[in-house]
Amino acid sequence: MSVYNLMRTGVSGMGAQSNRLGTVADNIANARTTGYKRASTEFAALVLDNHGTNYASGGVESKTRYAISQKGTLEYSASGYDLAINGQGFFMVGDAEGRVSLTRAGAFVPLEDGTLMNTAGFRLMGYPITNGNTGAVINGTAGLEAVNIRSVTLVSEPSTEGVMTTNLDVNEGIVAAGSLPSDNVAGSTFTHTSSLKAYDSVGREVILDVYYTKTAANQWEVAVFDRDDAAPGGGFPYAAGPLSTQTLTFDPTTGALDAGSFTDITIPVPNGSSLVIDLSATTEKGTGYTVLDAEVNGSEPAAIESVEFADDGIIYAVYENGARSAIYRIPLANVASPDRLKPESGTVFSITAESGDLQIGFPGEGALGTIFSGALESSNVDLASELTTMIESQRNYTANSKVFQTGSELLEVLVNLKR
């Protein structure tokens, strides 16, 4: 047996245990790092060719392995921008140069410009939602952009539907033709009137004057005008005719609309959409005119007040007026062998030949997990296990140093034989 091989074997063992202690040190240092994945050192024997009676010692080779597929526990936080994945998959994040990496570290905070960035300086990537579509690419990162919760402009919602429920007094007299609101002449006569507020396509208020006029027994005309067209001081004649008219017919025995009556009225809102008002619950009974319900959808322009993260990855903007709209969808990425990803600084991972190609999907699809808002994934480090490994490696290092020391002493004996 070569004394030199003996010493090299001891050095090999010390080097392997040093590497193992290095992974233990990293694990302990990152025991509270969000999304950190534990590293471990595995050993493989290096055996030399041995012939005859002489044995040549080889050594040991160390390899580092990462438990990337092993999930950490979810810990709830007070921030709605903290995100965690319940199941498989990785967030896609970008650095300042636009390079996309994978991570499980979801401690994001909005910057001054609205960009969501985690504590390592990586921006959350997502697909902007335009007309309900994301334009996602399943095998590449095309179309992804940094999620910005303040990049959306003021939004408004035009009025498209509503309801108006009233009781019309059956005891009212009949108004003669020629002076009805639909005739739009000076002195037009009506029985009852109310006004509704609607919104046009740019969020401006439009006041609609609604006139109910009894034209025959159990028959009423409904006429709707744009108040902006009213005569000076209000009322008739309007500068333009009615936006819409409709006739309601009532069952004299029940006071409800009879089976052949119209039940709604469609109003073309100026510079807006067609507004359909449901009149189906209107009644004609022997009591005074009463408005029981009056609602119209739509909203004025408003800015984003907050954002909400759904478990399927959709980010909703919640506006000051209570409206909600989907602005981004967060994808999740995966590979065939997550443990073969390459760890990099910032608790991110990059694709390697051994990990397999990038696969992109949305939360809840296939084997991908769902997204939790207000939670973070802790590291998967077990401190008790790491301390045990540290003690074991320390003892093994000491034993290998004794092998080296023994070889050194044998070599010294050989050198002294000549003296």
Contact 183, 195 (CB under 8 A): no
**Within this chain, do residues 193 and 241 fall inside the same structural domain, yes or no?**
yes
Same domain, 285 and 334: no
Q: Which long-range contacts (CB under 8 A, 24 or more apart) does 364-367 make?
A: 364/311, 364/312, 364/313, 367/87, 367/88, 367/334
231 plus 127 within the same structural domain? no
Q: Using alpha carbons only, give the angle 11, 15, 16 rounded to the nearest 5 degrees.
A: 120
Domain boundary among 255, 282, 300: 300
Task: List C-alpha distances in Å: 19 to 42, 64, 390.
Answer: 10, 8, 11
How far is 193 from 168, CA to CA, in rounded Å?
10
Average pLDDT score, the chain = 90
What backbone torsions phi and psi does residue 82 show, to the nearest 5 degrees?
A: -75, 125
Is 366 in contact with 119 (CB distance < 8 Å)? no
Give the Cα separation of 141 and 200 in Å (integer).
39
Average pLDDT over residues 358-364: 91
- Give yes or no: residues 208 and 269 share one domain: yes
* Residues 380-404 pLDDT 10s: 999 999 999 999 999 998 998 888 8
Give yes or no for residue 138 having a pLDDT over 70: no
pLDDT digits (tens, 9 = 90+) for 142-177: 889 999 988 666 778 899 999 999 999 999 999 999
> Are both 285 and 195 inside the same structural domain?
yes
Q: Which of 300, 320, 344 is the last residue of a domain?
A: 300
Amino acid 352 reads T
Q: How far is CA 380 from the centre of its chain?
A: 25
Cα–Cα distance between 272 and 207 in angstroms, integer?
13
What is the distance between the alpha carbons of residues 327 and 325, in angstroms, rounded to a whole number? 6
Contact 118, 106 (CB under 8 A): yes
Q: What is the CATH number of the domain that holds 222?
A: 2.60.98.20
Q: Hey, what are 176's tokens? A: 């003669």
- Which CA distances in Å does 158 have to 154, 235, 270, 314? 13, 26, 11, 24
What pLDDT score does 140 carry? 72
Number of domains in the chain: 3
Q: Are the C-beta atoms of 147 and 91 separated by less than 8 Å?
A: no
Phi, psi of 331 (to 5 degrees): -85, 165
Condensed to tens digits (0 to 9), the pLDDT of residues 171-215 reads 999 999 999 999 999 989 999 999 999 999 999 999 999 999 999
Whole-model pTM?
A: 0.69
Domain boundary among 300, 326, 349: 300
Nearest-angstrom CA–CA distance, 287 and 271? 38
Instruction: Report, in angstroms and rounded to the nearest whole number, the Rg of the chain calculated over CA atoms.
Output: 38
Same domain (yes/no): 281, 189: yes
Please compute the mean of the pLDDT values over residues 97-109 and round it to a whole number.
Answer: 93
Domain identity same for 289 and 172: yes
Per-residue pLDDT, 151: 63
163 lies in the same domain as 295: yes
Same domain, 174 and 274: yes
pLDDT of res. 319: 84
Residues 296, 282 within the same domain = yes
Domain assignment of residue 29, given as a range: 3-67+380-416
250 shares a domain with 177? yes
pLDDT band at 406 (very low <50, low <70, confident <90, very high): confident
pLDDT tens digit sequence for 290-346:
999 999 999 888 888 888 999 999 999 888 877 788 889 999 999 999 999 999 999
Same domain, 113 and 223: no
